[in-house]
Amino acid sequence: MSAEPSALPVAGTASPVVKTSCESGVATLTLARPDARNSLSEAMMAALTSALAAIAADTTVRAVVLAAEGPVYSAGHDLKEIQAHRSDADRGRAYFEDVLERCATLMTAIVRLPQPVIAAVEGMATAAGCQLVASCDLAVAGEKARFCTPGVNIGLFCHTPMVALSRNLVRKHAMEMLLLGEWVEAEEAHRMGLVNRVVPAGDALSSAQALARRIAEKSQVPVKLGKAAFYTQMEMGLDNAYAYASRVMAENMLARDADEGISAVLAKRAPTWEDR
């Protein structure tokens, strides 16, 4: 991936939907529709999914930061697109199912991406925008960032954001956000476990990139094996999780970098990673 910024435009326009750049092994994807509150329109979801697919195959990318332009990180689904299908013969059912499937594909692409993904949140992240943050492996929030799953306030429970929230927050915190649909300030989101760190307003991107660079310095063998194993074992019972983790760790121990890392500890020197 080029170190020069690039952009994925909306079909039929020259306007970028997602801006991409890469430096020091860290790819930064920036939602670039601030005028539309960075809503997860069909074009936005397609652009993000495409960018993630390219990153997954790019061995020069070692970590990813997901940021956004403007005062709103993401307002969730594009409600204008959704309402436009109310007059369909099926009252929009086929479209609703399709757009939600596209959203699920995007969220699972983040989880299944080999490289860790860090959300850099400034401003508001609501509904599917909050889901986007929860789907990332880590999240850094500016102190003025706010989070909400407000569907219940408009007659629409945030069922799909619930999937990501319930896998990040303890049950009662997740249910509180989903049932009340009220704003959660950055510090409270940190207490709940939705974000890892709260930094001064305006510093989320630089702080997330600094965190990503620290990850990028490590051997990619344990990072990639570890990320995949983390999510896999979370869906297992205790005994199966230990059996699975033991198999993966044994595989990791056979890697060249594990041999190098242990040898470096014993020799009291810095390791030299080969990512194999």
Query: pLDDT tens, 128-161?
Result: 999 999 999 999 999 999 999 999 999 999 999 9
Q: How far apart are the first and last CA of the chain?
A: 21
Q: For 235-269, what is each residue's pLDDT tens digit?
A: 999 999 999 999 999 999 999 999 999 999 999 99
Q: How far is CA 244 from CA 131, 144, 168, 195, 232, in A?
A: 28, 41, 21, 28, 9
Q: Is 178 left (phi over 0), alpha (psi -120 to 50) or beta?
A: alpha
| pTM assigned to the model | 0.92
Same fold: 18-217 with 220-267: no
- Contacts of residue 247, Cβ cutoff 8 Å, sequence gap at least 6: none
pLDDT reading at 192 higher than 70: yes
Does 30 have pLDDT greater than 60? yes
The DSSP output letter for 36 is G
Domain ranges of the chain: 18-217, 220-267
Average pLDDT of the residues of the chain = 94
Give CATH for domain 18-217. 3.90.226.10
Segment holding 148, helix H or strand E: strand 146-148
Amino acid at 252: N
Residues 41 and 35 sit within 8 Å (Cβ to Cβ): no
Helix (H) or strand (E) holding 188: helix 186-192
Fold topology of 220-267? Lyase 2-enoyl-coa Hydratase; Chain  A, domain 2 (1.10.12)
